[in-house]
Amino acid sequence: MQKYNIDIKFIDASNWQELSWFNSGGTRAKKVLQDPVGNRYYFKCSEKKLARNGKAEKYYKYEFWNEVIAYQLGKNLGLNILRYDVAVFDGEIGCLSPQMTIIGEEQLLEIGRFMTAINSDFLPEDNSTRNKYTFHLLEDTLEYFNIHKYWNFIFETLLFDTIIGNTDRHQENWAFIGKTNLVAEGLSHLEERAKNNALNWVVRKFCNTFLNKKNELNEIGKQLVLENLNISKTAPIYDSGSSMARELTEERIKSLLANEIELNNYIDNGKSELHWDNRKISHYDLIDELLNSSYAEQVRKASVFLSNWQPDLIFLILEQVNLVVPERKKTYCIPKDRKELIIKLVTLRINKLINLISAGV
């Protein structure tokens, strides 16, 4: 049996300070917390969708676990992935992740900032333009700004999303990390909050002034933008909670466990948020398209982490998930059937992915 590093933690953040003046971004509000020694973290609970337009309320009670499971899985597969642990804050249970950037030295640059600049018709807040969030727009973006050296990160993320069935890798859910620049140094007299806000304004100013005028942007202007964004590396994979059947009711889970055909149909019907030719297709169809494109060898190279997979890995992770939950929060332990389904889903999905990549080699 391969030796794994499975180290799920429970963190009681009840006495940590909430930095309520910071905006965490993303599709769900996250609380920014600071521990007693000054380290910053993001705390989020499982998503609740209020009833509206005749649709019933939805509560994905165990969603926060998916971040924890995804981290343990990705880490043991050898991926650069953000750590998530189980935590309690303000009486609520959720997951906790460390801040990805060094305060005052780095900034998080979501891929969407670049994509919307290349295609001004893509408006993330407008659902009618979601079909413009495509691999080809991503391709144009990386090529135009000469940051195509990060393709391996892109493909690793897409492959990992295929394994966990992540349906929400939207434009803010992957990013680069950039060093803060000389423009920001002139803001040193401002307090930290104002400085961060001003720095974000600087980035937006460059995007609005230069990126949205792509046709007018010459090489000198493009270089100026890149120098001020100052990308130094990719961020770790983060925000993978919309995965591993988080939306399924216990009744639906029982039905899938009892019917192999139904289970495989559920896997095949899972869609990638990143479109292909304006079409929302399955994770496997997206990988298949890439394997039949000029990126085939790069995708295969990015898939080397799959060699670290052993069937007992996901089983051992799920064995440990409930052990860290304190007695007062035991109602948030993952039920037996849900654990069994997650094990089956991940195992079937990764085996199907391995077979897809191996075909035709």
* Domain boundaries, given as residue ranges, for the chain: 106-147+175-234
The residue ranges of DSSP E strands in 14-84, in sequence order, are 17-18, 31-34, 40-44, 48-49, 58-59
249 and 76 Cβ atoms separated by less than 8 Å = no
Q: How many other CB atoms are found less than 10 A from the CB of residue 355?
A: 9
φ/ψ of residue 329, rounded to 5 = -120, 25
Extract the tokens encoding 40.
Answer: 């910053």
Q: Which residues pair with 34 in a beta bridge?
A: 17, 40
Extract the tokens encoding 247.
Answer: 């939306």
pLDDT in tens, the chain (361 residues): 468 999 999 999 999 999 976 655 544 568 999 999 999 999 999 988 776 777 778 899 999 999 999 999 999 999 999 999 999 999 999 999 999 999 888 889 899 888 887 888 888 888 889 999 999 999 999 988 888 899 999 999 999 999 999 999 999 999 999 887 543 443 333 334 333 444 444 444 455 544 444 444 455 455 555 555 678 899 999 999 999 999 999 999 999 999 999 999 999 999 999 999 999 999 999 999 999 999 999 999 999 999 999 999 999 999 999 999 999 899 999 999 999 999 999 999 999 999 999 986 6
Helical ranges in 210-311 per DSSP H: 219-229, 250-258, 260-269, 283-291, 296-302
3-state helix vs strand vs coil in the chain, percent to 5: 50, 15, 35
Q: Using alpha carbons, list the distances in angstroms from residue 317 to 68, 107, 164.
A: 10, 32, 14
Q: How far apart are CA 324 and CA 10, in angstroms?
A: 6
Residues 6+ apart with CB under 8 A from 104: 180, 192, 195
Q: Would the pTM count as exceeding 0.75?
A: yes
